[in-house]
């Protein structure tokens, strides 16, 4: 690698750092990550990339560090105090901590894009170890990229689909769908439940191809089946917190609810899976396998986590008073319930002389959800500070 290319990358880094070095963040861990970048900056700026003792592997290492720095700084710069929906991020943090004991190793950063959640660096632990060993800078957290359309960052209704995306992240960490496939579902398939299982997969065909003579066909069947399982799990995970509303956005973007895709089961199948979830963990063998794997891999099973939150305050245009984390995470389902009920409850509660337009209901519900969450977080943080001076 030509060292001049590394110098070019370092020059880009210097320009970015000059613009962003005085950033401030609401999350102390983001601030610490930013300060660590400052330490790394000083080391990189002092490095002589033309040093003849540097090997080809050394140059590639510094290239990766430079790109890591620029990527990290760009993520953090788009997540300063005033630029992110702190309220929604904290709700995702609370939900994730219910499932992962190491979730404090992750810092959520929001980026513009289609809904998704993914780590910044896949092999971050090994990469961070290399940075610590070779450069003496220790990063204790990884930036967890949460993608959402930036214009919808304050849309607390549509953004409930991020609970589905959080389900994918939890699944990837705990290998729940993989466990369901390998440890439960295949056994059920070979022990007489073939017909009950196959209908949940691509076009109702034989999803697993266990007796297939084509290895390629068998592998494709396995990958497709596992992809479907992951979608079912993410739906069920999200529905724990927001009920059937986790599928609302899916209804909107779907062109053919009965059509299966290469990686996603049909919307009709996903709704039926949710319906079975509300009845019994053993309502169908696919659902049962996901339940069994969740219990085996996680701290607890898939259960309804939302509670009914009184709608009276919201219908009176007053933020809801939330007493605990369960109520906090239930505010999204309640918001959807209020939005779906339309104008009449607002009219009745406030003696309105004319119906509220739909856009006003949307605006009010979103504002009230945000204020309800913010009030809860302020009281929580105040109490924590008072009890831990």
| Residues 293 and 318 grouped into a single domain | no
What pLDDT does residue 279 have?
Answer: 93
Q: Which two tokens stand for residue 94?
A: 């609370």
Q: Which two tokens stand for residue 340?
A: 């779906």
Q: Within a domain: residue 305?
A: no
Could you identify the residue written with the tokens 């102390």?
28
Q: Which phi and psi (to 5°) does residue 162 adopt? A: -70, -20
- CA-CA distances (angstroms) from residue 117 to 111, 165, 171? 10, 6, 12
Residue where one domain finishes, among candidates 229, 263, 297: 297
| Residues 42 and 134 grouped into a single domain | yes
Query: Cα separation of 163 and 329, whole Å?
Result: 10
Cβ proximity of 275 and 217 under 8 Å: no
What DSSP string describes 249-300? HHHHH-S-TT---SSS--HHHHHHHHHHHTT-TTSSHHHHHHHHHHHHHSSS
Q: Which two tokens stand for residue 33?
A: 């990550």
Query: Cα separation of 16 and 13, whole Å?
Result: 5
Q: Within a domain: residue 350?
A: yes
For each successive 10 residues of the chain (389 residues), what is the average pLDDT? 92 94 86 95 96 94 95 89 82 95 90 88 78 95 90 93 96 93 83 82 54 44 84 97 92 81 88 94 92 91 94 95 96 97 94 93 96 95 82
Q: How far is CA 281 from the centre of its chain?
A: 24
> Which residue segment(s) compose the domain that 60 sits in?
3-156
Torsion of CA 270, 272, 274, 277, to 10 degrees: -140
What pLDDT does residue 159 have?
Answer: 94
| Residues 130 and 76 grouped into a single domain | yes
| Residues 318 and 207 grouped into a single domain | no
What pLDDT does residue 221 have?
Answer: 62
Q: Within a domain: residue 307?
A: no
What pLDDT does residue 122 have?
Answer: 58
Looking at residue 151, what DSSP letter applies? G
Q: Which two tokens stand for residue 187?
A: 């056994």
Longest Cα–Cα distance in the chain: 81
Query: Cα separation of 307 and 183, whole Å?
Result: 33
Domains held by the chain: number? 3
Q: Within a domain: residue 163?
A: no
| Residues 182 and 324 grouped into a single domain | no
Torsion of CA 2, 8, 9, 11, to 10 degrees: 150
| Residues 101 and 26 grouped into a single domain | yes
What pLDDT does residue 188 have?
Answer: 84
Q: Within a domain: residue 328?
A: yes
The pairs formed by 86-92 with CB atoms below 8 angstroms and a separation of 24 or more are 86/26, 86/374, 86/377, 87/156, 87/370, 87/373, 87/374, 87/377, 88/153, 88/156, 88/159, 88/162, 88/373, 89/146, 90/373, 90/377, 91/328, 91/329, 91/332, 91/373, 92/146, 92/162, 92/163, 92/166
What pLDDT does residue 203 have?
Answer: 60
pTM over 0.85: yes
| Residues 329 and 264 grouped into a single domain | no
Q: Within a domain: residue 161?
A: no
| Residues 140 and 242 grouped into a single domain | no
What pLDDT does residue 214 have?
Answer: 46
What pLDDT does residue 150 have?
Answer: 87
Strand locations in the chain, DSSP E?
106-112, 116-119, 142-148
Query: Cα separation of 206 and 186, whole Å?
Result: 12
Looking at residue 193, what DSSP letter applies? I
Residue where one domain finishes, among candidates 127, 156, 185: 156
Neighbours of 246 (CB within 10 A): 27
| Residues 258 and 338 grouped into a single domain | no
Between strands 142-148 and 116-119, the pairing is antiparallel
Query: Cα separation of 365 and 51, whole Å?
Result: 60
Residue where one domain finishes, among candidates 156, 182, 207: 156
| Residues 30 and 125 grouped into a single domain | yes
| Residues 229 and 345 grouped into a single domain | no
Q: Within a domain: residue 352?
A: yes
The pairs formed by 342-346 with CB atoms below 8 angstroms and a separation of 24 or more are 345/311, 345/315, 346/315, 346/317
Could you identify the residue written with the tokens 């983001």?
30
Q: Within a domain: residue 165?
A: no
| Residues 210 and 149 grouped into a single domain | no
């Amino acid at each position: 690698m030509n060292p001049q290319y590394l110098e070019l990358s370092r020059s880009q880094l210097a320009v970015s750092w000059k613009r962003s070095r005085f950033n401030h963040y609401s999350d102390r861990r983001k601030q610490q990550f930013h300060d660590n970048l400052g330490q790394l900056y000083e080391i990189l700026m002092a490095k002589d990339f033309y040093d003849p003792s540097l090997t080809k592997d050394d140059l590639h290492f510094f290239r990766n560090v430079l790109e890591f720095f620029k990527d990290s700084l760009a993520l953090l710069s788009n997540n300063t105090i005033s630029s992110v929906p702190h309220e929604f991020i904290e709700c995702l943090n609370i939900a994730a901590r219910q499932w992962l004991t190491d979730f404090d190793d992750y810092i959520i950063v929001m980026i513009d894009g289609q809904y998704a959640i993914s780590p910044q660096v896949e092999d971050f632990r090994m990469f961070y170890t290399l940075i610590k060993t070779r450069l003496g800078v220790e990063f204790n957290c990884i930036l967890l990229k949460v993608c959402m359309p930036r214009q919808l960052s304050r849309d607390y209704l549509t953004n409930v689909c991020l609970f589905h995306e959080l389900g994918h992240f939890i699944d990837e960490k705990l290998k729940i769908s993989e466990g369901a496939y390998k440890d439960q579902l295949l056994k059920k398939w070979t022990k007489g439940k073939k017909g009950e299982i196959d209908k949940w997969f691509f076009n109702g065909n034989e999803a697993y191809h266990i007796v297939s003579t084509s290895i390629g066909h068998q592998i494709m069947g396995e990958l497709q089946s596992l992809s479907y399982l992951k979608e079912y799990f993410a739906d069920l995970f999200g529905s724990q917190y927001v009920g059937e509303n986790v599928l609302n956005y899916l209804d909107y973007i779907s062109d053919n609810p009965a059509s299966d895709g290469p990686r996603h089961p049909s919307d009709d199948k996903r709704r039926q899976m949710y319906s079975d979830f509300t009845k019994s963990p053993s309502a169908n063998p696919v659902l049962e396998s996901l339940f069994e794997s969740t219990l085996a891999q996680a701290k607890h099973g898939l259960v309804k986590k939302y509670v009914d939150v009184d709608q009276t305050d919201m219908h009176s245009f007053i933020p809801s008073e939330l007493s605990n984390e369960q109520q906090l995470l239930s505010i999204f389902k309640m918001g959807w319930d209020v939005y779906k009920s339309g104008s009449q409850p607002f009219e009745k509660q406030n003696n309105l002389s004319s119906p509220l337009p739909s856009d006003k209901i949307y605006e009010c519900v979103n504002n009230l959800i945000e204020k309800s969450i913010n009030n809860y977080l302020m009281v929580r943080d105040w109490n924590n500070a008072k009890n831990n001076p």
